[in-house]
Structure 1
Amino acid sequence: MTTEAEDILTIAHDWARAGEQVALATVTETWGSSPRPAGSQMAVTVSGRMAGSVSGGCIEGAVAEAALRSIETGAPQLLDFGVTNERAWEVGLACGGKVKVFVEPVQ
């Protein structure tokens, strides 16, 4: 039996082997009300493919944008969305929680 995280890693690996530029986003920390637990992952490609979820939809767009920047620059990022962060409301994280997401390009 494979876990959801293993499935996302396999998908990201397969996309990279097929020549896609890929980034992987992983929830590293949550606090309060959060739609996805730590360890949840999402893979994003330059061509627009996405697999997995880091928030059930509310911050996926912002994380996908960051993933594309990480692919472009080669630099990882630690994203912080929470109730005190104006960006959290902008992207739809109005659940009252906090989520940290680590984004890294897949080599």
Structure 2
Amino acid sequence: MKDVLQQTQTWHDAGQAMAVATVVDTWGSAPRPVGSKLVATADGRFAGSVSAGCVEGAVLEQCEKAIRTGQAALLTYGVADEEAWEVGLACGGTIRVWVEPFSVWQPIFPALAEGLHANRSLAVVSPLR
């Protein structure tokens, strides 16, 4: 998470518009655990991962939409085991990803950055609606 935070800080300092994607639920086998994050800029750059590459392209599209519209979205991605093997994935499973514009994080970002740099345990709660 610290590497994602450092890149987010760089983009934030440069005035980049961003969105944050967070894995909020998983069923079956999932490549990333709940809490995994991806931060993306309006021009498609990103740091972090929510699926080890399996659905990052679709998530990046939703991040761009969140930046453009200011609207958050709860997304569900799943694949059957048979389909997973066909596209080169080791397992099936389903993930639910919450995508929100970074503006939601703006007021808490300094405290979050400070806490992570100080190795404190932190939690961010977002209403999924």
Alignment length, in residue pairs?
98
* Residues 82 and 93 in structure 1, CA contact (< 8 A), matched pair in contact too: no
Residues 27-82 of structure 1: per-residue CA shift (max 9 Å, x gap): 00111010000000001101221100000000000000000000000011111112
The separation in 1 between residues aligned to 2:58 and 2:4, in whole angstroms, is 19
Structure 1 residues 60 and 93: CA distance shift in structure 2, 3 A: farther
Highest relative contact order (Cα 8 Å, sep 6+), 1 or 2?
A: 1
Extract unaligned runs of 5+ from structure 2. 104-129
Identity among equivalent positions (%) equals 48
> What amino acid does structure 2 have at the position aligned with 1:11?
Q
Larger Rg: 2
Correspondence for 1:46:
42
Deviation at 1:96, TM superposition (A): 1.8
| Partner in structure 1 of residue 19 of structure 2 | 23
Using structure 1 for the length normalisation, give the TM-score.
0.80
Is the 2:72–2:99 contact (alpha carbons within 8 Å) kept by the matching residues of 1? Answer: yes
**Cα deviation, residue 9, structure 1:** 3.4
Instruction: Please report how far the alpha carbon of residue 93 of structure 1 lies from its aligned counterpart in structure 2 after TM superposition.
Output: 9.4
CA contact (8 A) 2:40 2:63 kept: yes
One-letter code aligned to 1:99? I
Q: Which runs of no fewer than 5 residues in structure 1 stay unpaired?
A: none
Kept in 1: contact 2:63–2:99 (CA 8 A): yes
- In structure 2, the residue corresponding to 1:27 is in which secondary structure? strand
Map of 1:37 onto structure 2:
33
Match of 1:68 among 64, 69, 73: 64
